[in-house]
Structure 1
Amino acid sequence: MFFEKASLMKIRILSSLLLSFSFSLSLYSGTCNAQTEPPAATAAAASVTATTAPAVAADAPVTPVAAPPAMAKPGMIAADKINAGDTAWMLTSTALVLLMTIPGLALFYTGMVRKKNALGTMAHSLATTCIVTVLWVVLGYSLVFTAGSPYLGGLDRFMLHGVSFLKEAGQLSVHQLAPTIPESVFLMFQMTFAIITPALITGAFAERMKFSALLLFITLWSLLVYVPVAHWVWEPAGWLAARGVLDFAGGTVVHINAGVSGLVAALIVGPRLGFGKEPMPPHNLLLTAIGASLLWVGWFGFNAGSAGAADGRAGLAMLVTQVATAMSALAWMLVEWLRRGKPSVLGIVSGAVAGLVAITPASGFVDLTGALAIGAVAGVACYWGATSLKSMGGYDDSLDVFGVHAIGGIVGALLTGVFALKSIGGADGSLATQAFGVIVTVIYSGAVTAVILWLVKVTIGLRVTKEQEREGLDLELHGEHIL
């Protein structure tokens, strides 16, 4: 109870600081985030009007050819209109992003817990992948990526109704945000984002939540938190997209969303037994380092894939992702070296993940200068969030979900407003607009997560018993253990 009260006081202070941004906000009519909005089309090529008088052919009037109208909603097109290169890249990106959760995040988290909870922690990522996959194809995709209202999509794609491939007719469906690839590929790519977001949250309450409670929480959170926020930011009809909030690949939708929810979960579930009194070192940092490496590689699909095509923007997004990640890892390592006298492997990989998080919303908008700056700030800020802030708050965020993902996501979202270049992303950055998006996400995500956890607590309960926690979740909940 003491920890919860102290932590809530810290959250109120932090919320007050964030809300100070709102005094500088003004109304904007902006573009949708770059993950889902393609660059502006170039002018149509002119054609020479045919004439029967050879003497004046050179002076024939030039008439612009009207570009085909842009699609306003998902629909059918001829199969030969699909771009094979774009499709191949997006299939690859989809596999890379799934790799981030299984095995990437699963190994990253599993290595950081105690041995008696290793399999239970891995089960979190595996179960989340299965649950969200089914939710996404039944309902989630439709509620996020159809127009509906500014706050929630419609049911046009319920049970993937209308997602078609008609070989005999030579037609297939595409989404208007990715018209050069099959809609099946687009929805699969977006599914992998929906999977990893709640999987990230599980690190905040690792080693103490009931598995049944986890399953119910993931189900409710995916539908009530992820789906609305993703619609607001990534569907052109979404109200934050219309305000000009920029999020190329998920800084707000994925990382702030998951990080804030993780903190709320850590506070409500409460600390592990012996937290602050007993040592709780990672049982296998080799697994964590391998998992982080897989996350780093998979993140190229996360960011470069969000271009929706195999083009120059995807290439630039890949480049700035690599640079910001390396810069952040170096910054974290340097700060830790200066403060503690030794650079740790856990610190290096944590700094890398911080850089990946922070560059995510900016990756389709910034150049090399922005990437270096974002990486440097993220490394220092997330080190502070995972050490000093966590110590001041007294909360048990087991695997630093808030310190890395929320802090890194906020840094990246705000600095997108500072470093975004219209010449790259087609949109000017605005610190005030980005701050507005951050505040809305923090408040909504935190409040709804708290309600969901309360519902789970009063129905089936959140925590394992003290005896189960002492014995370990692997044996007590799953009937197996690592020798």
Structure 2
Amino acid sequence: MSVPTAYMGNTSLAVSDWLNKGDNAWQMVSATLVGLQSVPGLVILYGSIVKKKWAVNSAFMALYAFAAVWLCWVIWAYNMSFGDKLLPFWGKAKPALGQKFLTQQAALPASTHYHKDGTVETAMVQPYYPMASMVYFQCVFAAITLILLAGSLLGRMNFRAWMVFVPLWLTFSYTVGAFSLWGGGFLFQWGVIDYSGGYVIHLSSGVAGFTAAYWVGPRSTKDRERFPPNNVLLMLTMAVLNTNICAATSLLVWTCLDVAFFHKPSVIGAVQGMITGLVCITPGAGLVQGWAAIVMGVLSGSIPWFTMMVVHKRSRLLQQVDDTLGVFHTHAVAGFLGGATTGLFAEPVLCNLFLPVTNSRGAFYGGVGGVQFLKQVAGALFIVGWNVVVTTVICLVVRLLLPLRMPEDELTIGDDAVHGEEAYALWGDGEKYDSTRHGWYYDDTTHHHRNNNNNNNNNATANAVPSGVTLNV
């Protein structure tokens, strides 16, 4: 049987013999889908889940992080995460911009795994698509990690401080986790499992977000007491797109717990449950069987619910730290839970398809499985410790240059004070009432004329305000 021409080598000077068009197409599609989770996904989610006075600021923090990560990634951060080894936990920094580099076959040079006698146990990771696809794919994961971290800081972090924080945290925290677990670093070589980011993305963003929230300080008292989302339906629509078995199970468990204990099903709670399910499954997504995914969904819908709804309210430390969107519970707790349960349920045959250390398995399958569970816990502790220390240092350095927290007047007003822009053509949510701007028949073209009106006209304008409006929202 003859091979179709399209699948023969040398069909074009632009197509190398090693290139698998299907692999490359899927890698590009997958990267694009992850990118869409960030922009517009999390940009819209953040803009809708906060009070309307913070809609612009919250969405802009996510959008800025996405753009900043792209530039840093191709200039130095990609090779720090997936390039040649500099240290057991760090790659050598160099650009990923040249044509010669980007068009060669993708490879992770530090990923070769050796037996104790020096012979190769598992060959270097070298997929059948170009390096450009690898750089793109890994960049969107780095970007979404910073955006998830931002969820802990919404509603009060100085935007200019955020602009400095993003490249520093990417460089000194994310790259370490990525190289250690994915790029061929010491945790990769030891056989710690993180199939799609439970540790690299979720645990690190949850711990770093909580740590940064401690240093930035809380939102204003009014915002902490009442912080309703400005668009619940939009928030729900974006989250539903990401449902899978574990996430669906987690959503159902979380909702059932809300009904059982609070007697009301919560849309926001359901979304939180969906997120914890998605986070929990990431370390073992390709390594556990379907029944294990359901078990992990039950755990991820109940344990983070318990830490958020019960432990958080009783812990003095957790009460002191204002984690705006509860990223610590939905990502750090769920990420750790996912890594630990992967150490229990990782299926041996699937492990041999993915891990550099042969004969790996979860504790549920006996043999050396108990060791895998201990590896998972140890890997999580490294990620937690590194992020607490490095995030603290970064916050203290940034604080020497810029205030981490907005001034009180900006906290009171919101987007209009910080950006000079508002998400909605309505006034409220912290904006100071001004009859010359917010009059019932306000027209900006007559703004200056109104300032010159006599007292009677001013009183008439004030009386034109619709009923129920307060002078200071």
TM-score (norm 1): 0.75
The CA deviation at 1:276 is 8.3
How far 1:161 sits from its partner (Å)? 7.1
* Corresponding residue number in structure 2 for 1:300: none
| Equivalent of residue 184 in structure 1, options 132, 141, 160 | 132
> Bigger CA drift: 379-388 or 450-459?
379-388
Higher relative contact order (CA 8 A, sep 6+): 1
8 Å Cα contact 1:385-1:404 kept in structure 2: no
> What CA deviation, in whole Å up to 9, does each residue of 1:169-222 have, x standing for no partner?
xxx432253421111111100000010001111111101011100110111000
Distance 1:88 1:240 in 2: 30
Distance (Å, rounded) in 1 between the aligned partners of 2:47 and 2:303? 25
Q: Which residue of 2 aligns with 1:311?
A: none
Q: 2:169 aligns with which of 217, 221, 242?
A: 221
- In the alignment, which of 93, 105, 108 is matched to residue 30 of structure 2? 93
Structure possessing the higher radius of gyration over alpha carbons: 2
Instruction: Tell me which of 165, 174, 188 is aligned to 2:106.
Output: 174
- Pairing of 1:85-164 with structure 2 (within 5 A): 85-148=22-85, 149-155=87-93, 157-160=95-98, 162-164=100-102
Between the aligned partners of 1:449 and 1:190, the Cα distance in structure 2 is: 22
Q: Report the number of matched residues.
A: 374
Shift of 1:239: 0.7
Asked if 1:428 is matched to 2:361, the reply is: yes
Are 1:84 and 2:21 matched, yes or no? yes
Instruction: Select between 191-200 and 273-282 the one with higher mean Cα deviation.
Output: 273-282
What is the Cα deviation at residue 360 of structure 1? 0.3
Which of 229, 235, 256 is matched with 1:334 structurally? 256
Does the alignment pair 1:476 with 2:414?
A: no
Q: What does the per-residue CA deviation read over 1:208-248, in whole Å, with 9 as the maximum and x for residues that have no partner? A: 01110011011100000001111000012x01111211000
Q: 2:180 touches 2:186 (CA, 8 Å); kept in 1?
A: yes
Equivalents in 1 of 2:161, 2:68: separation in Å? 13
Instruction: Give the match's secondary structure for 1:247.
Output: coil
Aligned partner of 2:107: which letter?
H
What percent of counterpart residues are identical?
Answer: 33
Give the whole-Å Cα distance in 2 for the aligned partners of 1:184 and 1:288.
33
> Who is 2:268 aligned against?
346
Tell me if structure 1 keeps the 8 A contact 2:77–2:175: yes
Alpha-carbon deviations, 1:388-416, whole Å to 9, x = none? 23323212111111110001101001001
Work out the CA distance in 1 between the residues paired with 2:224 and 2:64: 31
Gaps of 5+ in 1: 1-76, 166-171, 298-321
- Once the two structures are superposed, residues 306-342 of structure 1 have per-residue CA deviations (whole angstroms, 9 ceiling, x without a partner) of xxxxxxxxxxxxxxxx211111111111111101101
Corresponding residue of 1:412: 338
1:139 touches 1:159 (CA, 8 Å); kept in 2? no
Question: Once the two structures are superposed, what CA deviation does each residue of 1:432-474 show, in whole Å capped at 9, x if it has no partner?
Answer: 00000011111110111011111111211111110110011x1
Please tell me whether the aligned partners of residues 361 and 412 of structure 1 are also in contact (alpha carbons under 8 angstroms): yes
| Equivalence map 1:47-86=2 (5 Å) | 79-86=16-23
Distance 1:78 1:478 in 2: 48
2:379 aligned partner: 437
CA contact (8 A) 2:77 2:93 kept: no
Moved over 6 A (4+): none
Q: 1:350-390: per-residue Cα shift (whole Å, max 9, x none)?
A: 11111000000010110012101111100111212332233
> What's the secondary structure of 1:79's corresponding residue?
coil
Q: CA deviation at 1:158?
A: 5.0
Indicate the residue corresponding to 2:7 in structure 1.
none
Pick closer, same or farther for the CA change 1:338–1:478 going to 2, 3 Å: same
C-alpha distance in 1 between matches for 2:70 and 2:418: 23
Question: Given that residues 193 and 283 in structure 2 are in contact (C-alpha distance below 8 angstroms), is that contact kept between their aligned partners in structure 1?
Answer: yes
Distance 1:414 1:211, change over 3 A: same
For residue 383 of structure 1, give the secondary structure of its aligned residue in structure 2. Answer: helix
| Deviation of the 1:157 alpha carbon | 4.9
Counterpart for residue 380 of structure 1 = 302
Is 2:105–2:128's contact at 8 Å kept on the other side of the alignment? Answer: no
Give distance in 2, aligned partners of 1:158 and 1:97. Answer: 20
Q: Which amino acid aligns with 1:122?
A: A
Equivalences for residues 198-277 of structure 1 within 5 A:
198-236=146-184, 238-274=185-221
Task: Assess if the C-alpha contact under 8 Å between 1:366 and 1:424 holds in 2.
Answer: yes
| Distance change (3 Å), C-alpha of 1:161 and 1:261 | farther
8 Å CA contact 1:106–1:291 kept in 2: the answer is: no
SS at match of 2:221: coil
Q: TM-score, normalization: structure 2?
A: 0.76
1:205 counterpart SS class: coil
Distance 1:466 1:369, change over 3 A: same
Q: Alpha carbons of 1:155 and 1:266: their partners in 2 closer, same or farther (altered >3 Å)? A: closer
Tell me the distance in 2 between the aligned counterparts of 1:158 and 1:187: 8
